[in-house]
Amino acid sequence: MSPTLTTIATVTGGILAGLALAGALLWRQQQALQAARYQATHDEVTDLPNRRLFLTRLRAALADGTPVGVVLLDLDRFKAVNDTLGHDAGNDLLERVARRLASLPAPVHTAARLSGDEFALLVSGGRDDTATAAHAAWQVIAAAPIRVVNGELRMTASVGHTHSHNRHTGPRQLLAEADAAMYAAKRCGSGVREHDPRAALPARRGRDRHYR
């Protein structure tokens, strides 16, 4: 091969190697960006959407003007699980509850973990659809023992639900209503409660945790 062709081949090989390296670096950057975006919108224990993504989807659903419902649920006696069996068992419990909720069929649109042992469902539909989803959530948790690292647990949940009453209903109102209904269920010792529009929402600063 002539010196000229050798030089051309060397230069071309260097360019191709540089392009390959640049392509690999770009791919890694894109993968890292996608991973960061996913972590910002999903819960690390359960892999469910987190509060931020749930609110984004709730706002989008309300903006469409279609009927939508919100279900909030809180595991009964979850603190006792952490205190007696340890946090590994508690995390196992959260993960398996998340799987059961994520498996719920339509009209459930999104299952999310908001914080601690509190989960939320975004429901496509009105009052009847939301009530159906709320009872399905309660049943799927209570139906069978849940296996954790230390054995099996039988769990129940306190479930509250509400739905968009009109086109002016906002995310904060829906979350507050579902939250009030959930705590009404908890005061009664578990079960499912629908928000009563005749009842005034109690002033609880803790409710704003849903909207942060």
Residues in the chain: 212
Closest by alpha carbon to 102, among 47, 28, 63?
A: 47
First-to-last C-alpha distance (Å) of the chain: 69
117 labelled catalytic: yes
Q: In sequence order, what E strands does 33-185 have?
A: 68-75, 108-115, 118-124, 146-148, 151-153, 157-163
CA separation for the pair 81, 113 (Å, rounded): 18
CA separation for the pair 199, 98 (Å, rounded): 31
Residue 186 — left, alpha, or beta (φ > 0 → left; ψ -120 to 50 → alpha)? alpha
Amino acid making up residue 160:
G
The active-site residue, picked from 76, 117, 129, 179, is 117
- Active-site amino acid positions: 117
